[in-house]
Amino acid sequence: MDAPGRPPYQGSPSQAPQREALPLGSPASGGGRRLSRSPLRLRRGGLRRLVGWSLSRVRPRLPDGRSACRRHQRHLLSQLRLEARGRLTPLLLLPGSAMSLPIFVVDAFVTDAPFTGNPAAVCVMPAGESESAGIEPRLQGIAAEMNLSETAFVSPLEDGERPSAWSLRWFTPGDEVELCGHATIAAAHALRERGLAPSDDPIAFHTRHRGRIIQNRIDGLEEVGLPATPLEEVSAPDRRLFEGLGIEDARVVRTMEDDLVLVLDDPKRIETMHPDMRVLGGIEARGIAVTSLMDGDPDGASVISRYFAPGVSVDEDPVTGSLHASLGLLWREEIGSTFLARQASARGGLVRVDAARGDEGVVSIAGKARMVLVGAFLG
């Protein structure tokens, strides 16, 4: 059927107007960037498995009649190189664009309900790039662009006979941090789910401030042993702590991560607390936590907590892994070294804590993780 308003062609077929093949990148062709919904099937499947998205078939054709998408295919595959014992490391250079990086969003310490746990971005970089000189402004810019509580940056390393060795750094939207538990869980989950690390073998993360951190998957949970040192009692706490939290008084301890933890008697008070972030933001500490024992939790949690860090651009962290390493030391004498903890933020989450090795300076935390977004950073 002819299009409305357009007269039908009356000439012979040999005189019918022919559509001229347009060179890729010409203005009339849409710059070679006009994409349809037909997926491009790449040989080996490596690109889609690594990045999680596939290119689409490009409509314009080259002057010699070949499909333009084949040129894209060859160009992309030529930019992928094998590093770190055969793992594909992404160097995806689209014509006319800067280097793009695979990036994922993973919810760590989730419950069975959707939209729970603590989301962290995980950015996979080429070998050595996350540790290169002068890279910090770019990493900080990506973290600010993602605007999550933390973004983890991982780069593959060689570690003797262990293929799963990675450099790991953590950034909030405003600054680099020395340790982040939930982003470590997220990084390990992303590497395993995208086939960049063996699903059942340990992953060795090499960090700048906390040395070598070993991560495992046990019984479907992502587990990591975090460094932990004895808590320090604060004998004369800043009174702004109590003002900002709306409480009269509480025991206060300081952790190795420079967090201030207030120990309360009433778990309900923690759930209904409405802190004044302007007041808390002026206190010298990485973050401020409140915690209490609890009973009757439907999931069997025996510890409740919340965590506020306005000083590092995070008003309330949904679930804080590194905090629970300290909570393992705080509560083990009263309820034992292994327990389930609930962080009562708006999203909420569950953390399994094992402080059996607390005297050795290690507390294990574990939880479920769920990948919720897969893409590429093009900036």
Beta bridge mates, 213: 205
Q: Are 321 and 226 in contact (CB under 8 A)?
A: yes
CB half-sphere exposure, 116, CA atoms < 13 A: 16
CB half-sphere exposure, 206, CA atoms < 13 A: 14
Which of 87, 48, 319 is closest to 191 using CA atoms?
87
What Rg value do the Cα atoms of the chain yield, rounded?
Answer: 26
Specify the DSSP class assigned to residue 311. G
CA 163: distance to chain centroid?
Answer: 21
Q: In this structure, are strands 151-159 and 118-124 parallel, antiparallel, or unpaired?
A: parallel
CB count, 10 Å around CB of 61?
18
Catalytic residue among 20, 150, 178, 333: 150
Number of H helices, E strands in the chain: 8, 21
Rounded CA separation 286/323 (Å) = 11
Q: Which three-class secondary structure state does DSSP give residue 99?
A: coil
Is there a catalytic annotation at residue 150? yes
- For residue 239, give Cα distances in angstroms to 181, 244, 311: 29, 9, 17
Catalytic residues: 150
